[in-house]
Amino acid sequence: MWGLAFVSPWLIGTGGLVLYPMALSLYYSFTNYDIVSSYQFVGLANYGGLLRDPQFRQALGNTFYLVVVMVPLSLVVALGYALLLNVPVYGQRVFRTVLYLPQMVPTVASAILWMWVLNPQFGLVNTILGWFHILGPLWLNSISWSKPSIVLLNVWGIGGAAIIFLAGLQGISPMLVDAAKVDGAGLWRRFRHVTLPALSPLILFNAVMGVLGAMQYFTQAFIMGGGESGGSSVGLGNSLQFAVVYLYEVAFGDLRVGYASAMGWVLFMMMLVVIAVLLRVSARWVFYEGWRKQ
Amino acid sequence: MRKAKLLRGASQSTSYALLLATSAVVLLPFYWMVLSSVKTNHQLFTTPVQWWVWPLHLSNYSRALSLIPFWRQLGNTVMLSALTVIGTVLSGSVVAYGLAKVDWPGRKPLFWLLIVTMLLPGVVTLVPTYVIFRDLGWINTYLPLIIPAFVGSPYYVFLFRQFFLRIPESLSEAARIDGASELHIYARIIMPVSRPVIASVGVLAFVQAWTEYLGPLIYLNQPAQWTLSLGLTAFLTKYSVEWNLMMAAAVVFTLPLIVVFFVGNKYFVKGISFITDVG
């Protein structure tokens, strides 16, 4: 009975703040609930409405851009960075500290900082591009460059994922690497056949976390989408209207709780599908020490 | 042999150059933030860019802090973060004790439930949770932001559990034979040897609470209640062209986390190593 007593706060929390809200959300998704007036059942109307909602479609497109572009790019950069930080050089501790610093900038502060860093005329990035006689893009003030701006900001804050890879790299037995060396494996083959398999569970972990984060991307987009005028929060030509940004507007701007709940469930299902595909594909290349999948 | 040595030297210096370059890229935005915060409005908008200014225009800081109810919002942020840390450490360790140190039938299935809730996206619960808290009359109070920390967030329960599993069972077994209650074992035996994980969870929860945006945005409507995250965005909508003031405010908002980071550096890394141990 002691066990139950110890876990009871969390059980109550899970019931009240996870399971009950989920059930409630499913229920609302079949109604036209709007907080203020009484509501009716509308069947699948909300879900049907989502299918025909051009704004939702655009928000999904923007979100999938993050999943397809930002997540893989972040993984590659984080892995490269971790490899670099694993080379035994003097002062490596300092470099590792630097890597993690961007994580310490509050989300809101980093969004505002990057709006200024990416200022087309007086910003840091375009100033440096100017040294190489490159005319920098308009970044957040351009429909085609606003999403790359978001990607750039996130690659800057790559520390969390990189440090997970670094921990994994440090866990690889030096004997394994030496054995590969003795067998005459070069740098690339050692990376391909020793490092990558050893890291594969962590690559999967970071990929899943990355997808979950990308599909629920909100704060930076919400702030940066407002632009310097702080007006609309969806970026130029809705280019920064991501799924959760739209959900926020529908729920808390228009108070269309029923519609927003349906949207939440559709997004949830999409996440499950993406993660399932990821797990399915990964079964072929993820290598767990000690056992192999038949 | 000499060739190998030369090669190694070359690859070392290449790594070094790459490390210096990436570090510079990571640090430049920080320099840009601080530099802009001590420039006059005129200096911000001159070309070519001035990479150093003298005298430093420090009055930006006092102006920025007086334009928003800064001290008030700082107090709110500190209070919320402190309560979140206390709640997270307390509930996380208590629940993890039940999952890792007490032998009872619910232990295994509940661990799987924990993993599932860890992966459940907030996007489904966001709106109904708001409705629930609204029906409770908790809008414009701090309760919706604090209570969740006190019922055990799955991720931190998980970190505690991983650590507790590594504490030798003989320790609590000996106490049990002496007739100690589970509560006693938790408070007097397990917690004192768990300082590293307490520190890790503490710093991670602190950073998360300090930077939290969506929760305060939804639940707090009055500027006097706001946290600095909200204060800073309000600043953006009002004084957006005054980047020097914006940057000064951003520096002040970021500084406490940088301090926490340098003080608790190893605990961040430890907190992460608990994850990689699972693989």
Of chain B residues 117-146, which have a CB less than 8 A from chain A? 117, 119-132, 134
Interface contacts (A, B; CB < 8 Å) = 252
What is the CATH class of B61-276?
mainly alpha
Note whether B276 contacts A202, CB cutoff 8 Å.
yes
Question: For residue A37, is it within any domain?
Answer: no
User: For chain B, what is the radius of gyration of the CA atoms?
Assistant: 24
Helical spans, DSSP H, in chain A: 2-14, 20-28, 45-52, 54-65, 71-85, 92-100, 107-117, 124-131, 146-156, 159-170, 174-182, 187-190, 196-215, 219-224, 243-248, 257-285
Q: What is the mean pLDDT of chain B?
A: 89
CATH number at residue A186: 1.10.3720.10
Total domains, chain A: 1
Q: For residue B278, what pLDDT is reported? A: 47
**For residue A245, what pLDDT band results from cuts at 50, 70 and 90?**
very high
Confidence at residue B23, expressed as pLDDT on a 0 to 100 scale: 94
Residue window 2-41, chain B: list those with CB within 8 Å of chain A. 11-12, 15-16, 18-19, 22-23, 26-30, 32-33, 36
Residues 189-228 of chain A whose Cβ lies under 8 A from any Cβ of chain B: 201-202, 205, 208, 212, 215-216, 218-219, 223, 226, 228
Please indicate, yes or no, if residue A53 is contained in any of the structural domains: yes
- Evaluate whether residue A224 is within a structural domain: yes
Closest chain B C-alpha to A151 CA, distance in angstroms:
15
- Determine whether the interchain pair B279/A202 forms a contact, defined as Cβ–Cβ distance below 8 Å: yes
**What are the structure tokens assigned to A112, written together?**
């505002």
| Predicted pLDDT at A171 | 83
Its domain, for residue A106, covers 49-285
Closest-CA distance, B107 to chain A, in angstroms, reads: 8
Alpha-carbon distances, residue B228 vs A94, B30, B77, B250 (angstroms): 30, 19, 6, 9
Q: What is the pLDDT of residues B188-201, one digit of tens each?
A: 999 999 998 999 89
A54 vs B: CB within 8 A: no
What is the pLDDT, as a whole number, of residue A100?
86
Count the Cβ atoms, other than its own, within 10 Å of residue B84. Answer: 23
| Residues in chain B closer than 8 A to A28 (CB atoms) | 127-128, 131
Average predicted confidence (pLDDT) for chain A: 89
Q: Is B157 on the interface with A (CB under 8 A)?
A: yes
pLDDT at A291 over 90: no
Least confident residue range of A127-141, A192-206, A278-292, B157-171: A278-292
Residue A28 counted as domain residue: no
Is the residue at A44 inside a domain?
no
List the single residue in B26, B228, B273 with the smallest CB-CB distance to A102: B26
Residue B68 has pLDDT above 90, yes or no: no
Give the separation between CA B190 and CA B183, rounded to whole angstroms: 10
Q: Are B254 and A109 inside 8 Å of each other by CB?
A: yes
B contact residues 86-115, partner A, Cβ 8 Å cutoff: 91, 94-95, 97-99, 102-104, 106-107, 110, 113-114
Domain ranges within chain B, ordered by starting residue: 2-58, 61-276
Question: Is A42 part of any domain?
Answer: no
Among A192-206, A248-262, B146-160, name the one with the lowest average pLDDT: A192-206
